[in-house]
Amino acid sequence: MTDKRETIQQYVKSLFTYLDVFCFVSGAFVIEENKDRKLYNLLSSAPDKYTLNLSKYKLITHDQYMTASSILMEIHMEDYPIVVTCKNNDDTPCEKTNTFLNIKWYSFEQSGRTFIYLKPETFPSTSISHLNEAISRYFLKKQNVSCIQPRREDCIKDKACKYTTSNSNDRPYRMFKTTIIDNKEYDNVESYFRQGDEAFIIEPVSTFIINEITKGETISVETQGNDKTQGNEIVKIYSSFELSIGGKQRTRRRKLYKKHKKSASKKSRQRSQKTLKKKGRKH
């Protein structure tokens, strides 16, 4: 049986691919779900021996969006590390890479809608390394300094949130304004009450990624526009299947063109030879 953590790895990596210039190396996602609950089912399918019910052991953190029915879970991803490299979208070039070996997640509801909170982390919660990170951040108040803006939902604890309540819901926070999937446009309207700087993913994007990676495809994006800080850009997300189809068509066109060119060249030579023979006969 295939270890579902491999699919989870590909899903999270695809989320970062989708974010493109809004990528982060420290932060979390809030992901919109529909009644099919595809992401919930995928995360729940991780092998039991690699998961930990943190709520059961009262190891609850990142509870900004938790409701009475939420259960904080953890998936250990050491065998399927998620390596992410981000480049900033500022005037000063910057690049940062991080490797996530752990995922925290839970389901929650707001206004009749269902969401998944998902946070990739560097270390498992019960590890010494994670404990040292927690002490450094929450007790010693030391923040990780990076040229890439963090997307933490609990930024309020450090009084470091970039998002404010003045941000309009029809202008998503640090996100593309419109996403194109299969030639259909989707507005990235936030359907929940934001409390921090986390990245919000609309349901059509999450569903498209899951559908494609379960077929063994990879995800690519194309962006349009320049107003990256305000989220005015348009992003088109597509799979390697679409790329391969496009590539085959281009290759076929090139082959037909070469064949046509070769055929035309051959006919031209034949005409020239006939002309020369005729001239020879006249003389």
Q: What is the pLDDT of residues 37-73, one digit of tens each?
A: 999 999 999 999 999 999 999 989 899 999 999 999 9
Residue 111's Cα: distance from chain center in Å? 25
Is there a domain that residue 272 lies in? Answer: no
Closest among 108, 117, 36, 110 to 74, alpha carbons compared: 117
Is there a domain that residue 254 lies in? Answer: no
252 has pLDDT over 50: no
How many angstroms separate the Cα of 106 from the Cα of each of 30, 70, 75, 102? 10, 6, 11, 14
Is there a domain that residue 185 lies in? Answer: yes
Mean pLDDT calculated for residue range 136-147: 60
- Structure confidence by residue, pLDDT tens digits, 225-246: 766 556 668 999 999 876 555 5
How many angstroms separate the Cα of 239 from the Cα of each of 79, 92, 212, 244, 260? 25, 31, 7, 9, 32
Is there a domain that residue 143 lies in? Answer: yes
Is there a domain that residue 19 lies in? Answer: yes
Write b or e for each residue in 210-240: b if 16 or more Cβ atoms lie within 10 A of its Cβ, otherwise e. bebbeeebebebeeeeeebeebebebbbbbe
How many angstroms separate the Cα of 252 from the Cα of each of 239, 248, 256, 262, 266? 20, 6, 6, 15, 21
258 has pLDDT over 60: no
pLDDT at 168: 56
- How far is Cα 114 from Cα 59, in angstroms, rounded to an integer? 23
Q: What pTM, to 2 d.p., does this model score? A: 0.81
**Mean pLDDT, all residues of the chain:** 82
Is there a domain that residue 251 lies in? Answer: no
Mapping DSSP to helix (H, G, I), strand (E, B) and coil, where does residue 183 land? coil
109 has pLDDT over 90: yes
**Do residues 106 and 72 make contact, with C-beta atoms less than 8 angstroms apart?**
yes
Is there a domain that residue 280 lies in? Answer: no
Is there a domain that residue 261 lies in? Answer: no
pLDDT at 14: 97
- How far is Cα 71 from Cα 106, in angstroms, rounded to an integer? 6
- Domains held by the chain: number: 1
The percentage of residues in the chain with a pLDDT greater than 90, rounded to a whole number, is 55
The secondary structure element, H or E, covering residue 208 is helix 203-213
Range of the domain at 109: 4-242
Residue 102's Cα: distance from chain center in Å? 17
pLDDT at 224: 82
The percentage of residues in the chain with a pLDDT greater than 70, rounded to a whole number, is 72
CA-based end-to-end distance of the chain = 83
145 has pLDDT over 70: no
Q: Provide the residue type at 17 as one letter.
A: T
The secondary structure element, H or E, covering residue 84 is strand 82-87
Mapping DSSP to helix (H, G, I), strand (E, B) and coil, where does residue 239 land? strand
pLDDT at 264: 47
